[in-house]
Amino acid sequence: MDFTQISGKRQLAFMQDFDYIREAGTEAEQRAAERIAEEIRSLGLTPETEEFTFDTYEITEAGFAVTSPYQKEYTVTGYLGSGSTPEGGVEAPFLYAENGDDISLSYASGKIVMVNAPVRADMYEKLEKAGAAGFLSICGSPIDSGEDLKPALCTLRKVEQPAIQGACIHCTDAVRIVEEGASRARLTLSQRKVTRTSRNVRVRIQGTDRAEEILTLTAHFDSVPAGPGAYDNMAGAAIIMELCRYFAANRPRRTLEFIWFGAEEKGLKGSLAYVEAHREELKRHRFNMNVDLAGQLVGGTVIGLTGDASICSMLSWLAHEAGMGTGFVNGIWGSDSNTFAWNGIPAMTLNRDGFGMHTRHDTLALISPWSLERSARLLGYIAEHLSETEVFPFVQEIPEDMKKKLDEYFGQM
């Protein structure tokens, strides 16, 4: 690969046009999709935009008040997907159960229970089994001030028809509630299911003499509602755009398809819609190269590879050849690559550790052209080699243990 054709500065300039929150299903996300399509056209290629719908929740009311031995309202955010309390809320004794261990939860019956970490399906099950009347989870840090005192938005995933509702509270308030000896509280939550439209943008660079075989380069371009998602994941979107530019000028033997996914943050909705829409063609897919979390300077590069362990060794060889340090994890990875692996296609996510994911601090200010350039070169090197080999070298079968984990991961999503 001719590394001089890859520019970090150009990627950063492209990212400047996306310095806003791009929550899936909003006009802002649509605007971002249109800008991506425009960039593809500027490369002399023809983009295709594929719409899909997904269900999400809209919270209309979320409240938490201590009712005894004093009365005070606190700011909370409701858990999306945890249902609605009866009108007027649930009033019950209050319990702080730390990490939700069995001893603490033995006191939970009939109570509104506060735990430290965000409540996921496994903790939710424990709370429901313990007979909790509702739950609170603690977020933020004690050194937060100003806007950061607003609790994060949480989603309860993989729980069908939840019986108890929950909310998230900032830790400074959580500290006060415990120290002031709150013994009773009221939790109010009201939400409704809504259907939204999102879209993927894709473009195909037809291979020269191995065109039947398809390799995908993918990145999501939506962000969480908290911040403009520069690191997560407009940087990834810029990296694959840079590679799209490169391969448009340097035609590969195998077909390369570039896909910018919408609604990843809503549960990989974009990639799930893609495999649904292109199901008959999936047997032509050989490998998915996804980028999620990229572009910050201080950090380490890790490739999460879902597929046979021998693929890790081959990718490691390519990284050595390219001379760029990379760690490897052979397992499932919480991004759109999982969707491909779940559909039998070996997949990787190029990830760079960094700061501020899913917060308002995830801005362009922390993005480095050096880092963008490095990641694009590494991924481009891998993609180019894989598109050129005479016989595609990867074992196509996903190992049984990973299949099982993927089934669990996608369980009731």
Stretch that binds Zn ion, among 129-137, 291-299, 305-313, 387-395 (CB under 5 A): 291-299
Stretch that binds Zn ion, among 244-252, 289-297, 311-319, 397-405 (CB under 5 A): 289-297
* Helix count and strand count (H, E) for the chain: 11, 15
Q: Which two tokens stand for residue 322?
A: 């390219």
- Find the shortest distance in angstroms from Cβ 23 to Zn ion: 13
Instruction: Among 222, 292, 336, 384, indicate the residue that binds Zn ion (CB under 5 A).
Output: 292
CB-nearer residue toward Zn ion: 119 or 293: 293
CB-nearer residue toward Zn ion: 23 or 232: 232
Stretch that binds Zn ion, among 59-67, 116-124, 230-238, 242-250 (CB under 5 A): 230-238
Measured in whole angstroms, the distance separating CA 250 from the mean position of its chain's CA atoms is 31
- Find the shortest distance in angstroms from Cβ 236 to Zn ion: 7
* Residue 350: its H or E element: strand 347-352
CB-nearer residue toward Zn ion: 12 or 234: 234
| Residues 293, 319 contacting (CB under 8 angstroms) | no
Q: Which residues contact 266 (CB under 8 A, 6 or more apart)?
A: 24, 25, 54, 56, 198, 222
- Find the shortest distance in angstroms from Cβ 179 to Zn ion: 37
CB-nearer residue toward Zn ion: 196 or 266: 266
Stretch that binds Zn ion, among 232-240, 343-351, 365-373, 381-389 (CB under 5 A): 232-240
CB-nearer residue toward Zn ion: 187 or 272: 272
User: What number of chain residues touch Zn ion (CB under 5 A)?
Assistant: 3
Stretch that binds Zn ion, among 164-172, 228-236, 248-256, 387-395 (CB under 5 A): 228-236
Radius of gyration of the chain (CA): 23
Stretch that binds Zn ion, among 69-77, 153-161, 287-295, 340-348 (CB under 5 A): 287-295
Core vs surface per residue 90-106: b (16+ CB within 10 A) or e: bbbbbbbbeebeeebbe
| Rounded Cα distance, 84 and 164, in Å | 8
- Find the shortest distance in angstroms from Cβ 198 to Zn ion: 14
- Find the shortest distance in angstroms from Cβ 348 to Zn ion: 15
Per-residue DSSP letter, 234: I
| Rounded Cα distance, 134 and 90, in Å | 8
- Find the shortest distance in angstroms from Cβ 220 to Zn ion: 6
Q: Which residues contact 229 (CB under 8 A, 6 or more apart)?
A: 21, 22, 222, 223, 362
- Find the shortest distance in angstroms from Cβ 303 to Zn ion: 16
- Find the shortest distance in angstroms from Cβ 25 to Zn ion: 16
- Find the shortest distance in angstroms from Cβ 336 to Zn ion: 9
Stretch that binds Zn ion, among 16-24, 79-87, 292-300, 377-385 (CB under 5 A): 292-300
| Strand-pair category, 112-115 with 210-220 | unpaired
- Find the shortest distance in angstroms from Cβ 202 to Zn ion: 18
Q: Is 5 left (phi over 0), alpha (psi -120 to 50) or beta?
A: alpha
DSSP track, 221-233: --B-TTS--IIII
Largest CA distance in the chain: 76
CB-nearer residue toward Zn ion: 112 or 303: 303
Residue 23 in the binding site for Zn ion (CB under 5 A)? no
Stretch that binds Zn ion, among 199-207, 251-259, 285-293, 366-374 (CB under 5 A): 285-293
CB-nearer residue toward Zn ion: 74 or 260: 260
* Residue 96: its H or E element: strand 90-96
Instruction: Among 233, 306, 330, 349, indicate the residue that binds Zn ion (CB under 5 A).
Output: 233
CB-nearer residue toward Zn ion: 84 or 335: 335
| Rounded Cα distance, 349 and 338, in Å | 9
Three-state secondary structure call for residue 206: coil
* Residue 371: its H or E element: helix 369-388
CB-nearer residue toward Zn ion: 169 or 226: 226
| Strand-pair category, 184-205 with 166-170 | unpaired
Residue 232 in the binding site for Zn ion (CB under 5 A)? yes
| Residues 96, 112 contacting (CB under 8 angstroms) | no
Stated length of the chain: 413
Residue 384 in the binding site for Zn ion (CB under 5 A)? no
- Find the shortest distance in angstroms from Cβ 233 to Zn ion: 4
| Rounded Cα distance, 297 and 169, in Å | 32
**Please, which of residues 121-180 interact with Zn ion by CB under 5 A?**
none
Interacting residues with Zn ion (CB under 5 A): 232-233, 292
